[in-house]
């Protein structure tokens, strides 16, 4: 089997890399020389440990019982982790709230407070708050025709005028029920 030029180059590079790695390993590996031990100064290391019993078994560290110092300056340390984490759940009114864009439409033959929010259940009493000025209104959610593009809520035109001008459509709102 004849080797190509590329195979010979690969073997040559492999030999060079292996030699370099072997030399680095030998120099770091610590072959001790008798001259290096004669010139080195003797060193002594003394180690002392102190421990103080804690009154509170849940606290950790030597300063756990000293609560007068701030935490970032050697104050009391945190308690032992229990393996659980606090989980934040939304409040009771938070689950039925969405943000969206509102527009207006004139529902035929209706003079009552009606609107259509696609995310709210049909027949629910819906509160719509204008996020630009804070004005709000209440309306009954009914099924309407398709929504205009860019809008999630359509409000009967006389109601829409209670929270904004018609030129402001589509309007950023919060819908809750």
Q: What is the mean pLDDT of residues 150-177?
A: 91
CA distance linking residue 53 with residue 60, whole number of Å: 11
- Asked, for residue 108, whether it belongs to a domain, the answer is yes
26 pLDDT more than 60: yes
Range of 130's domain? 97-176
92 pLDDT more than 60: yes
Q: For residue 124, count other CB atoms closer than 10 A to its CB.
A: 15
- Asked, for residue 47, whether it belongs to a domain, the answer is no
- Asked, for residue 103, whether it belongs to a domain, the answer is yes
Please tell me the predicted confidence (pLDDT) of residue 63. 47
- Asked, for residue 131, whether it belongs to a domain, the answer is yes
Q: What is the mean pLDDT of residues 22-26?
A: 88
% of the chain with per-residue pLDDT over 70: 64
Find the helix or strand (DSSP H, E) in which 21 lies: helix 5-28
Q: Give the length of the chain.
A: 177
Please give the model's pTM, rounded to 2 decimal places. 0.47
**Comparing C-alpha atoms, which of 127, 123, 147, 145 is closest to residue 136?**
127
pLDDT greater at residue 64 or residue 118: 118
- Asked, for residue 90, whether it belongs to a domain, the answer is no
Average pLDDT of the chain, as a whole number: 78
- Asked, for residue 109, whether it belongs to a domain, the answer is yes
- Asked, for residue 117, whether it belongs to a domain, the answer is yes
CA distance linking residue 54 with residue 62, whole number of Å: 8
- Asked, for residue 127, whether it belongs to a domain, the answer is yes
Strand ranges (DSSP E) for 21-132? 97-105, 114-117, 125-130
Please tell me the predicted confidence (pLDDT) of residue 73. 64
Q: What is the pLDDT of residues 116-161, one digit of tens each?
A: 998 888 888 999 999 999 999 999 998 877 788 888 999 998 899 9
pLDDT greater at residue 152 or residue 35: 152
> Into how many domains does the chain fold?
1
- Tell me if the bond preceding 170 is cis, omega within 30° of 0: yes
- 172: domain CATH number? 2.40.40.10
Please tell me the predicted confidence (pLDDT) of residue 95. 65
């Amino acid at each position: 089997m004849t080797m190509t030029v590329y195979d010979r180059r690969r073997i040559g590079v492999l030999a060079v890399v292996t030699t370099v790695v072997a030399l680095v390993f030998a120099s770091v590996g610590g072959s001790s020389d008798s001259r290096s031990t004669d010139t080195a100064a003797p060193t002594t290391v003394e180690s002392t440990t102190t421990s103080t019993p804690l009154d509170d078994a849940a606290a950790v560290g030597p300063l756990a019982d000293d609560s007068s110092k701030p935490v970032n300056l050697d104050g009391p340390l945190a308690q032992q982790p229990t393996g659980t984490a606090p989980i934040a759940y939304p409040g009771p009114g938070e689950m039925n709230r969405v943000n969206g864009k509102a527009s207006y439409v004139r529902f035929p033959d209706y003079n009552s407070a009606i609107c259509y929010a696609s995310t709210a259940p049909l027949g629910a009493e819906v509160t719509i708050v204008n996020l630009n000025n804070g004005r709000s209104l209440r309306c009954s959610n009914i099924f309407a025709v398709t929504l205009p593009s860019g809008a999630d809520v359509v409000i009967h035109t006389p109601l829409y005028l209670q929270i904004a001008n018609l030129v402001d459509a589509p309007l950023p709102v919060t819908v809750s029920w």
